[in-house]
Chain A
């Protein structure tokens, strides 16, 4: 009877632990999101999103950071996408040399485990100093290409692997060359994985801060994107870096929380996009 009682107590406690842990996880999410929205959402305004900080005009805007973020996202995506998809295609479609394929996979795995502060260091040495790019958005974007490469390789590879072998054989059997078969049959049927990889990459780039703080600059002033020179030399903070600068160096928490709200909205949007892309594209 005693054993029975302690068994019941144990069961009750264990069940409680399961439910409480899950509840704590959910509560955490709700509290973090709720708190940020509560403090940040009132600051969101059209003016904030479309102007820059100016003491002269008395405006407080984050347009420069929004544009910088967009710049970094577009440039790194434009570079990492062909590179990552290419590497994945090589791995799944061409690689006959087992050792080389293993080396590429090991490399991708290793890259994905390296913390971003180390990418920052490498970016500083390699792109800012050795290639003479200085602290620019371009140097930051290039560093992020290295950082996000594993994600793109992996998601592409996963979806390439799900393309049935019969598709490839069908195309090859009709006399198509390997590249033709890949271009006309394999890549189109794995487009869902590639799109998901893109979206995840955007998410990582938008959320990244350590790399950009040291390779892309801290300025919150408007950059000149109208000339090639200007584009190559533009240096400034993305949204995450601006958040850090406002919070930690200027103790301007109102604007920091507003940026955080914006980042949360973007994160939610990116997740929704990934989910929808996965569903819509897989249907076909």
Chain B
């Protein structure tokens, strides 16, 4: 008997294939558009002047400058600060949830952590703007509280939920046998969690860190509201501009076709490159975590 495919079957198969291809097309589209839109300004400004220039003065009437080194460094420092502040708390919370907490308490805290992840970033920005920024100004006796430090703290809070849930899953997947062996040697439960469970889950924890870095580098709105947005070379207590906020702050003003606007797309390209590198690292971490 000859195999025949009914027309309806064939139509649906094609339709589903088209859906799948659309996802690929979107990625290609994004990549191509970001590169196409980002390259002209880089070519005009010069790659080294663009990446290593220390001055960003895109609207200067006679001598505009387009150096994004301050933004690159701010994004890197900001992400690093968020990791330093957020990962320890997140990791210990995950360890608590996965191992130390009474199951009922863990069952209460996990949805709360999910809720924390669901809060829109402008809401974090608003609270940062109205609580954190004035508090920093008062405590540290600064002229203005909109600083890199404020942004780091907001970012740390924002990456906390993903750090917790990824680490939680990784810790829960550690075989029970490791813990039994450690307890049987006379280690206390806490010693067991920190010296056996945690190292055994290091792949997952690395993935949590990579995910956190990705989130922190990519966040725009919340830090737009707390970082002051002046393109200074970064220091902890000065007003700073990130790669993301560098795009965000000028996007609505830059005239179409101007070099300023094109340069914003070039910043986007740099950001895209950063994110891609982090994604690759994240996938490597996840793969290693899965293999043991």
Contact = CB atoms under 8 A, between A and B. Distances in A.
A and B touch in the complex (CB under 8 A): yes
Interface of A: 10-11, 14-15, 17-22, 24-26, 28-29, 32, 35-36, 39, 82-87, 89-91, 93-95, 100-101, 103-104, 107-111, 113-122, 124-126, 129, 146, 149-150, 153, 177-180, 182, 203, 206-210, 213-214, 218, 240-241, 243-244, 247-248, 253, 256-257, 260, 263-264, 267-268, 270-271, 275
Contacts of A118: 30, 34, 218, 268, 271-272, 275
Contacts of B109: 22, 25-26
B221 A107 contact: no
B188 interface: yes
Chief secondary structure at chain B's binding surface: helix
Contacts of A244: 122, 125, 221, 224-225
Contacts of A178: 9, 12-13
B15 interface: yes
B260 interface: no
A180 B251 CA distance: 49
A95 B13 CA distance: 10
B115 A120 contact: no
A131 B39 CA distance: 21
A91 B15 CA distance: 12
Interface of B: 5-6, 8-9, 12-13, 15-24, 26-27, 29-30, 33-34, 37, 88-93, 95-97, 100-101, 109, 111-116, 118-127, 129-131, 157, 160, 164, 188, 190-191, 193-194, 214, 217-221, 224-225, 244, 247-248, 251-252, 256, 264-265, 268, 271-272, 275-276, 278-279, 282-283
The 8 closest A-B pairs by CB, nearest first: A115-B218, A86-B19, A21-B92, A207-B120, A90-B16, A90-B20, A179-B12, A87-B19
Contacts of A263: 119-120, 122-123
Given A113-B214, A117-B218, A214-B252, 7 more contacts: A29-B115, A32-B116, A89-B19, A114-B30, A115-B220, A209-B120, A247-B125
A248 B96 CA distance: 38
A111 to B, nearest CB: 6
B247 A117 contact: yes
B39 to A, nearest CB: 13
A111 B224 CA distance: 23
A18 B265 contact: no
A21 B193 CA distance: 15
B123 A243 contact: yes
Contact of A90 (B17, B112, B124, B275): B17
Given A117-B268, A124-B251, A111 B23 contact: yes
Contacts of A120: 247-248, 251
B157 A17 contact: no
A228 B122 CA distance: 31
B162 to A, nearest CB: 12
B126 A87 contact: no
A207 B29 CA distance: 25
Given A21-B88, A113-B275, A207-B120, A107 B23 contact: yes
Nearest to B24: A107
A267 B27 contact: no
Given A22-B97, A110-B279, A210-B248, A29 B112 contact: yes
A87 B20 contact: yes
Nearest to A22: B96
Contacts of A82: 19
Contacts of A153: 23
A15 B13 contact: no
A20 B92 CA distance: 9
Contact of B20 (A86, A218, A241, A243): A86
Contacts of B217: 115
Nearest to B116: A29
18 contacts: A14-B194, A17-B92, A18-B95, A86-B15, A87-B19, A90-B17, A113-B214, A121-B264, A124-B251, A150-B23, A177-B5, A180-B9, A206-B120, A207-B119, A213-B221, A241-B122, A244-B122, A244-B221
A13 B272 CA distance: 42
A210 B223 CA distance: 12
B58 to A, nearest CB: 16
B93 A21 contact: yes
Contacts of B92: 17-18, 20-22
Contacts of A253: 126, 130
Contacts of A248: 129, 224-225
A244 B126 CA distance: 8
Contacts of A29: 112-113, 115-116
A115 B219 contact: yes
A171 B86 CA distance: 50
Nearest to A179: B12
